[in-house]
């Protein structure tokens, strides 16, 4: 499909009409000022908290508009392939319109998203290794059983629904200068760009992709499973509709690596008190990593597209953050293998304000004398300077302490 044909399918008029439909369920989500990011860059930075949206992501906007557009064609039911957020939203919309819903998700999709789909009454089938395979499975089911296939992004009604977010930005930020937005399949980015630029042509719209899966950034994407914190935007091939729209309306597309995504998720939890999934945090990651700079002369808005974080990921994020911030001290030392030896060691650390997290004895594979045991311990400390003070105190107490990175 060429750019001209795509542009005819999704216009400001379609997006404005979609708002009346999507608004029956979708919230007008808040724009939240980020003191941390604004201070860091010396420019006003705000966050569009779509993570607080019904079903936890922007996808409900497109799902509602799509089902409304189907009318009686949805009576036999609807189906889709999705990594989770589109699935949740379609399941919710199907329940709202009273039609059956069957969803295909890749094996290993976040459990929280799968359970949410089922709670809305949808049937969920886990199979395949990617969103692309799930979409293919859903198409096959639709052709076989007469269900309506609902593409997660490459659909004019879906794109128009997602674009309603852009209308809210224009209303809420009269000095908007830049929108930083995640790109997976491109439905959100293209819809928002059309809405915003049709009304405020000067605004820059920057798309962000995960470095491991970034077809819009012109990078090769390997076949097979893609492992990323930003699973919701791990789409390998742009759509026939979305690609020309993104190329026409989005000013630039940048990439961010996994460490930057992890740091952004923790920053949002720690400083903004917002629980945002990896795909939703890539815009903040782009700012913090230097891939994007705020545009002077107005507000830069980062779209936090979803908040459906897999709970199993959070402890790892926190551990990593504490380690990189120097608030975890890991040491190895040798102590007398007699009663009271470990107590003596730990007392030194405790008296200097280090909190014990984990301790293990090692007697195998370590160079020890006959009456010694090795101790591997992890402590919580206040930072690098405090860690150095604690280690120095242990050495002055007679312990040979090796600090592990």
Per DSSP, 195 falls in state H
CA 74 from centroid of its chain's CA atoms: 31
344 a catalytic residue: no
CA pair distance 182, 258, nearest whole angstrom: 14
Render 358-376 in DSSP notation, one character per residue: EEEEE-SSS---TTEEEEE
Strand ranges of the sheet holding 372-380, from the earlier edge strand across to the other edge: 355-362, 372-380, 328-336, 402-404
What residues pair up with 380 in beta bridges, in sequence order?
328, 355
What tokens does 95 get? 């329940």
CA pair distance 178, 200, nearest whole angstrom: 10
273 a catalytic residue: no
Burial class (CB in 10 A: 0-12, 13-18, 19+), 71: exposed
Contact 282/233 with Cβ under 8 angstroms?
A: yes
Burial class (CB in 10 A: 0-12, 13-18, 19+), 364: exposed
Per DSSP, 117 falls in state H
Catalytic choice (59, 66, 113, 197): 59
Smallest Cα–Cα separation from 83: which of 138, 140, 156? 138
The crossing angle, in degrees rounded to 10, of helices 187-199 and 242-249 is: 40
Query: Strand, coil or helix: what is 222?
Result: coil
CA pair distance 253, 246, nearest whole angstrom: 9
Close Cβ partners of 334 (under 8 Å, ≥ 6 residues apart) = 368, 369, 372, 373, 374, 375, 399, 400
Residues with catalytic function: 59, 305
């Amino acid at each position: 499909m060429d750019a001209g044909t795509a542009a005819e399918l999704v216009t400001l008029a379609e997006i404005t009409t979609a708002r009346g439909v999507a608004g029956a369920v979708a919230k007008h989500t808040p724009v939240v000022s980020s003191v941390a990011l604004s201070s860091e860059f010396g420019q006003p930075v705000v966050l569009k908290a779509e993570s607080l949206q019904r079903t936890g992501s922007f996808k409900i906007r497109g799902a509602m508009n799509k089902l409304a557009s189907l009318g009686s064609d949805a009576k036999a039911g609807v189906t889709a392939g999705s990594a989770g957020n589109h699935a949740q939203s379609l399941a919710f919309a199907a329940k709202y319109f009273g039609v059956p819903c069957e969803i295909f998700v890749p094996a290993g999709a976040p459990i929280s998203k799968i359970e949410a789909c089922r709670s809305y009454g949808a049937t969920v089938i886990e199979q395949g290794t990617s969103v692309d395979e799930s979409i293919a499975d859903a198409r096959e089911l639709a052709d076989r059983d007469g269900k309506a296939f609902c593409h997660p992004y490459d659909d004019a009604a879906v794109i128009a629904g997602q674009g309603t977010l852009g209308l809210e930005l224009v209303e809420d930020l009269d000095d908007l200068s830049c929108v930083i937005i995640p790109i997976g399949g491109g439905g959100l980015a293209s819809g928002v760009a059309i809405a915003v630029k049709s009304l405020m042509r000067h605004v820059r719209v920057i798309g962000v992709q995960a470095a491991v899966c970034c077809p819009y950034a012109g990078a090769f994407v390997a076949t097979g499973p893609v492992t990323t914190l930003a699973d919701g935007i791990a789409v390998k091939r742009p759509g026939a509709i979305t690609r020309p729209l993104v190329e026409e309306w989005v000013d630039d597309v940048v990439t961010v690596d996994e460490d930057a995504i992890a740091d952004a998720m923790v920053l949002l939890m720690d400083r903004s008190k917002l629980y945002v999934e990896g795909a939703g945090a890539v815009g903040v990651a782009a700012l913090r990593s230097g891939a994007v700079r705020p545009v002077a002369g107005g507000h830069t808005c980062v779209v936090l597209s979803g908040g459906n974080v897999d709970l199993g990921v959070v402890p790892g994020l926190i551990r990593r953050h504490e380690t990189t911030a120097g608030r975890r001290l890991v040491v190895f030392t040798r102590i007398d293998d007699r009663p009271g030896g470990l107590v003596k060691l730990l007392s030194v650390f405790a008296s200097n304000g280090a909190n014990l997290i984990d301790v293990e004895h090692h007697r195998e594979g370590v160079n020890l004398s006959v009456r010694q045991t090795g101790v591997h311990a992890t402590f919580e400390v206040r930072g690098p300077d405090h860690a150095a003070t604690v280690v120095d105190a242990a050495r002055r107490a007679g312990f040979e302490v090796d600090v592990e990175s």
